[in-house]
Amino acid sequence: MPRQAASCSFDFLSALEVPGRLRPSALDLGPLVRRSVEARRRQAFKGVGRGRGGDLTRSQAASMSAEDRRNLHAFRDYVTKTLDPTYILSYMAPWFKDDEVQHIQAEKNNKGTMEAASLFLKFLLELQEEGWFRGFLDALVHAGYSGLYEAIETWDFQKIESLEEYRMLLKRLQPEFKTTVNPKDILPKISECLISQECEEIIQVCSNKGLMAGAEKMVECLLRSDKENWPKTLKLALEIDENKFSQLWIVDKDAKNAEPKVLEDDEIETSDIQIFYKEEPECQNLSQNSSPPSASPTCTPLKPRNYQLELAFPAKEGKNTIICAPTGCGKTLVSLLICEHHLKKFPQGQKGKVVFFANQLPVYEQQKSVFSKYFEKLGYKVAGVSGATSENILVEQIVENNDIIIFTPQILVNNLRNGTLPSLSVFTLMIFDECHNTGKHHPYNMIMFNYLDQKLGGSSDLLPQVIGLTASVGIGDAKNTMEAMEYICKLCASLDTSVIATVKDNLEELEEIVYKPQKFFRKVESRTTDRFKCIISQLMRETESLAKNIFDELGTVTLESVSQIQNRNFGTQKYEQWIVSVQKACMVFLLPDKDEESRICKALYLYTSHLRKYNDALIINEHARMKDALDYLKDFFTDVRAAGFDEIEQHLTQRFEEKLEELESVSMDPSNENPKLQDLSFILQEEYHLNPESRTILFVKTRALVDALKKWIEENSELSFLKPGILTGRGKTNHNTGMTLPAQKCALDAFRTDGDKKILIATSVADEGIDIAQCNLVILYEYVGNVIRMIQTRGRGRARGSKCFLLTSNADVIEKEKINIYKENMMNDSILRLQTWDEAVFKEKVLQIQIQEKLIRDSQGKVEPVPDKEKKKLLCRKCKGFACYTSDIRVVEDCHYTVVGDAFRKCYVSKLHPKPKSFGHFEKRAKIFCARQNCSHDWGIHVKYKTFEIPVIKIEGFVVEDITTGAQKLYAKWRDFPFEKRSFDATEMSKGPHDLSL
């Protein structure tokens, strides 16, 4: 008998609505779920609740259990794709018999996890005992299925459904994932997206079967993850490790252009990745005198410092202003002052409308929180829209119904482009955080193009006031003060600002708040002899020679642009770039003999992969211990051996193993210790001798170095007392990238509050947006960027008496940092000079730049490509099998693409769609895949359109081949493919609907 359980505590009110993307009508569940929701609504309004207003009676509990059972049955497909029931069986023991538990475990072993989940649900739904549903939810929580728990608790599976496109992408990329990703490296960064038992199983598989098998296991676990953040967590984990798989793993929806809603499944569009530097939102320490939100139910007036009032003054005068002030000085409070003044200045009957742009989700979330807490107490309405929340939100209503709107900038770009918002005149004030990014194709610049077109086009509509916030305006590639002034003027022209506000009158007060650490440069010599590098370099030369033999076999230098390596240096980023260029060239490499083409491309891939690993090991050896570099290679070759290898891999592995004994010997020789590590040890020991309470951030370039240095400190008897922590990613509240916000906060909180954790080893994440006020020692370990990054990195050390060390063996690195310091001084001098200009003269200068830039912009206007009327082939992108001709493609309702004719139906197979839905005249029924043996590449979906059964294909499933030349090309979007498009014509279809081949 099961133990007595409390009656189910399902939250009635949370289930009153079914999300738009999962409307019951779309799933033929309308009557079922509507009855369930209405019953909960009636009971909620009657005051009957679980855990709120009293317990349900036995009959009520039984009724609710029946409803839960029906809903669980309706949404069972989501559960079976997500749940591994063996992880929760121990928590369900009171409700399951021993033979049922054994049956479920056997089902997983013999048929797989989904079949085991289906059997688990069958047994679960047959339960009649009271409390089974609550027991199931509790089991999910205990096991770590937080996403699935939330979905079932609210009967809202939208978040889990949104992960499907990423699951499909990961399935397609699984071969590349297992050959390029080291699961041991990224597991610590993505562990929060997995069940703890899954993490243990991945580690066990890596140990027993090798890294490739571990990578396969990791893919299997990610495909079942119910954590909404896992796609972007994986993305940043890969980027931190500088893993080239990250170039294939495209997840940032906010950076995509707006397009018509298309029916194609799992559309992943590729785009160029741009990195924009940023500073923290400074939402915690707005002002020393600010009262906490809980201090009073009424709003306490802001108590700004004098320098903050000085920064806000021009903007409060109504002038378009760039506010340039150091990291940590409280620019967020300045923006609150400006907003409040702006909104209060309007006479009765008129209203202001403010939009605040935040580049990244963490800043967006924190600024939204800050603005909401302050302005809602004053009676203003605050709302926000980001790429993570925009899908089911009507932006025009958000703008219309609120006084202050927080946006990630691409949201506004999209809504201006598609006409949802008619113009920027709906706003009266725009604030750009990290405004130094307003250039090139950044969304800030796209917004300001719209603004400037309206301004220079003679529109009578009023334009909003513009405010920019930054710690550094930068100077670009300027080589002197005149060029720097010109660069800053162009930034001002882009933002239509005529004032640059800096602290001048209250500089002493600012310097009391924001400390500028002392900067020290430490140049150390590299190893005088490096036998490890000599051995690895010889192996690389041999491997290069083998690769060159491939080119010689061809008789002609088909890959001439990449077969030559100019001025190569092993163990450098330039060499890494060459390797990547070879692998990319192989993707479009063509030969008449396709088998020969496949053989050559595979051989080049293997050779370049080994060269890349050797190159990585040399970089680790240069900056850390030989032991760490050798361990890296040993793990790689263990992985290769475990996966089973062909003749090429056997030969390469044999050559490495022949050198392994000597490599082991030199790596264990104390005389080969890295001088840079000796100097780093000296700095740390000296500083902690002077101040045992020091708090240190150690910046390094890669995740591999983070791990190597952490291990080195922990194994060093003189430094192990530092108890190092690591910080390698940025979390985002909804769609997380890298470490989740909770994980990141946990690492930071431990560093701030745990006196034993005295050092934090971090990648670039910590120089951009992390507020660590008590840090007094910053060490840049072979770490340098541009002037903006230098200012932000230095700003991490804010405690009085802070120091900043740059430690390097490369004189060029020190020289670059000195150039950055020179550029910073040049920037400050340029700003001071511009501030002496007459405002009318400055405005005229800005206007002339704007006119000139608009002429250039208009002259380079996008020219619509002329449709290519020549017939082309579509080939499967995975196996290169023939699919159809462009002449067979038809456009349905402007944005969906189908193929007519019986021939195409023989090229694909269909499987019932896991999420059948209806959109307008379309009813999504099945998925279609390449029919060639061992391919099954995803081509799109099968739908019922009106009375016709038709395939709907997606362009990223195919390669386009020119029939005449044989040249092949990839397209990410249909709109980029300039072929002659013909509209769908029902008369072309064969009589009667076509059956699906399921």
pLDDT digits (tens, 9 = 90+) for 745-767: 567 777 767 778 889 888 765 44
Furthest-apart CA atoms within the chain: distance in Å: 88
- Indicate the pLDDT class of residue 789, thresholds 50, 70 and 90: very low
**pLDDT score of 53:** 37
Token pair for 663: 């490599």
Q: What is the dihedral of CA 134, 137, 143, 144, to 10 degrees?
A: -140
Question: Would you tell me the crossing angle of helices 331-344 and 361-375 to the nearest 10 degrees?
Answer: 50
Burial track 624-633 (b if 16+ CB lie within 10 A, e otherwise): bbbbbbbbbb
Question: Is residue 383 domain-shared with residue 460, that is, in the same domain?
Answer: yes
Q: Exposed (0-12), middle (13-18) or buried (19+): which is 869, by Cβ within 10 Å? A: exposed
Rounded Cα gap, residues 481 and 832, in angstroms: 11
Coil, strand, or helix at residue 675?
helix
pLDDT at 494 (0 to 100):
96
End-of-domain residue from the set 627, 652, 670? 670
Residue 260 scores a pLDDT above 50: no
Name the DSSP letter for residue 418: T
pLDDT at 557: 45
195 or 62: which leads in pLDDT? 195
Q: Is the pLDDT of residue 391 over 80?
A: no
Instruction: Identify the pLDDT of residue 476.
Output: 87
Three-class HEC string of 428-485:
CEEEEECHHHCCCCCHHHHHHHHHHHHHHCCCCCCCCEEEEEECCCCCCCCCCHHHHH
658 and 681 co-located in one domain: no
pLDDT at 187 over 70: yes
* 728 — pLDDT class (breaks 50, 70, 90): confident
The alpha-helical segments, DSSP class H, found in 863-959 are: 902-905
Residue 650 within a domain: yes
Last residue of a domain, one of 631, 648, 670: 670
Residue 29 or residue 545, greater confidence: 545
Span 839-849, pLDDT tens digits: 999 999 999 99
Domain annotation covers residue 548:
yes
Cα–Cα distance between 19 and 14 in angstroms, integer?
Answer: 11
User: Are residues 679 and 649 part of one domain?
Assistant: no
pLDDT at 460: 86
| Helix ranges (DSSP H) in 4-112 | 30-45, 58-74, 76-82, 98-110
Q: Give me the percent of the chain exceeding a pLDDT of 90.
A: 28
Report d(CA 676, CA 123) in Å as an integer: 62
Q: Which residue has the higher pLDDT, 791 or 382?
A: 382
How far is the C-alpha of 433 from the C-alpha of 354, rounded, in Å? Answer: 13
CATH number at residue 362: 3.40.50.300
Is 492 marked as a binding-site residue?
Answer: no
Same domain, 472 and 450: yes
Torsion angle of C-alpha atoms 772, 774, 776, 777, degrees rounded to 10: -40
Of the ranges 686-695, 884-893, 934-943, which is most confident? 884-893
Does 746 count as an annotated binding residue?
Answer: no
Q: Among 54-63, 347-356, 821-830, where is mean pLDDT lowest? A: 54-63
Q: Are 989 and 900 in contact (CB under 8 A)?
A: yes
Over the stretch 143-170, which tens digit does the pLDDT of each residue have?
889 899 888 888 888 888 888 888 888 8
Residue 812 predicted with pLDDT over 50: yes
Q: Decide if pLDDT at 827 tops 60.
A: yes
Which range has the top average pLDDT, 340-349, 358-367, 579-588?
340-349
Of 404, 405, 400, the residue nearest 426 (C-alpha): 400
H/E stretch holding 699 reads strand 696-699
DSSP 200: H
Count: domains in the chain: 6
Residue 977 has pLDDT above 80, yes or no: yes
Query: String of b and e for 931-950 (b: at least 16 CB within 10 Å)?
Result: bbeeebbbbbbbbbbeebbb
Looking at the fold, whether 86 and 114 belong to one and the same domain comes out as yes
What are the Cα distances from residue 273, in Å, to 256, 390, 445, 532? 11, 21, 16, 35
Range 676-693 average pLDDT: 90
What gap in Å lies between CA 718 and CA 684, rounded to an integer?
10
Span 860-892, pLDDT tens digits: 765 556 677 788 999 887 667 889 999 999 998
Bridge partner residues of 919 (DSSP): 922
Per-residue pLDDT, 793: 45
Of 282, 355, 367, 338, which is closest to residue 501 (Cα–Cα)?
338
Q: What is the rounded CA–CA span in Å between residue 208 and residue 200?
A: 12
Going by pLDDT thresholds of 50, 70 and 90, the confidence category of residue 340 is very high
What confidence tens digit (pLDDT) does each residue in 279-306 have? 333 443 333 333 333 333 345 567 899 9
Do residues 777 and 911 share a domain? no
Q: What are phi and psi of 740, to 5 degrees?
A: -65, 160
Question: Does the pLDDT value for residue 482 go beyond 60?
Answer: yes
Cα angle, residue 536 at apex, residues 812 and 633 outer, rounded to 5°: 100
Lowest mean pLDDT among 91-105, 382-396, 469-483, 973-987: 382-396
DSSP 518-584: EEEEEE----S--HHHHHHHHHHHHHHHHHHHHHHHHSS-TTHHHH--TT--TTSHHHHHHHHHHHH
CA 16 to chain centre: 32
CATH number of the domain that residue 553 is part of = 1.20.1320.30
Both 358 and 497 in one domain: the answer is yes
pLDDT of residue 309: 95
**pLDDT at 462 (0 to 100):** 93
Question: Are residues 762 and 826 both part of a single domain?
Answer: yes
Q: Is residue 266 part of a domain?
A: no
CA dihedral 481, 482, 488, 491 (to 10 degrees): -150
33 assigned to some structural domain = no
Q: Is the pLDDT of residue 650 over 60?
A: yes
> Which of 246-255, 658-667, 784-793 is least confident?
784-793
Please check whether residue 400 lies inside any domain of the structure. Answer: yes
Low-confidence winner among 105-109, 228-232, 718-722, 768-772 (lowest mean pLDDT): 768-772
Q: E-assigned strands of 837-975?
A: 872-876, 882-885, 889-892, 896-899, 908-919, 922-930, 938-945, 948-953, 958-962, 968-969
Do 595 and 607 fall within a single domain? yes
Q: How confident is the model at residue 919 (pLDDT cuts 50, 70, 90)?
A: low
Higher pLDDT, 20 or 870: 870
Angle at 923 between CA 920 and CA 926, to 5 degrees: 150
Q: Which range marks the domain in which residue 345 is found?
A: 306-512
Distance between CA atoms of residues 826 and 481, nearest Å: 6
Q: What is the pLDDT of residue 843?
A: 94
Q: What is the pLDDT of residue 495?
A: 97
Tell me, yes or no, whether 663 and 691 share the same domain.
no
Rounded (5°) CA angle 458-459-465: 105
Residue 339 assigned to a binding site: no
- pLDDT over threshold 70, residue 400: yes
Separation between Cα atoms, residue 477 and residue 473, nearest integer Å: 13
In the chain, % of residues over pLDDT 70: 77
In this predicted structure, the answer to whether residue 617 has a pLDDT above a threshold of 50 is yes
CATH of the domain at 173: 1.10.533.10
Write 630-633 long-range contacts (CB < 8 A, 24+).
630/532, 630/663, 630/664, 630/667, 632/704, 633/536, 633/663
- Does pLDDT of 794 surpass 70? no
- Cβ count within 10 A of residue 129: 14
Could you tell me the two tokens for 155?
A: 């009967």
The more confidently predicted of residues 109 and 284 is: 109
Whether residue 534 is annotated as binding a ligand: the answer is no
Binned at pLDDT 50, 70 and 90, residue 316 comes out as: very high
Average pLDDT over residues 239-249: 79
Residue 265 inside a domain? The answer is: no
952, 879: one domain: yes
How would residue 330 be classed by pLDDT, with cut points 50, 70 and 90?
confident
- For residue 221, what pLDDT is reported? 92
CATH number reported for the structural domain that contains residue 963 in this entry: 2.170.150.30
66-97 confidence digits (pLDDT tens): 777 778 888 888 899 899 998 988 888 888 88
Residue with the larger pLDDT of the pair 300 and 897: 897
The mean predicted confidence, pLDDT, of the chain is: 78
pLDDT at res. 739: 55
Q: What was the pLDDT predicted at 16?
A: 29
> Crossing angle of helices 811-835/481-495, nearest 10°?
60
Both tokens assigned to 803: 């120091």
Where is the domain boundary, 814, 834, 854? Answer: 834
The pLDDT of residue 162: 84
Residue 290: what residue type?
S
Tokens of 699: 């910046």
pLDDT at residue 526 above 60? Answer: yes
| Within a domain: 177 | yes
Domain co-membership, 910 together with 951: yes
Q: Residue 281 falls within a domain, yes or no?
A: no
d(CA 548, CA 540): 12
Span of 619-623, 770-774, 890-894 with lowest mean pLDDT: 770-774
Instruction: Take residue 76 and report the two structure tokens written for it.
Output: 């069972």
93: three-class secondary structure by DSSP: coil
What pLDDT shows up at residue 666?
A: 92
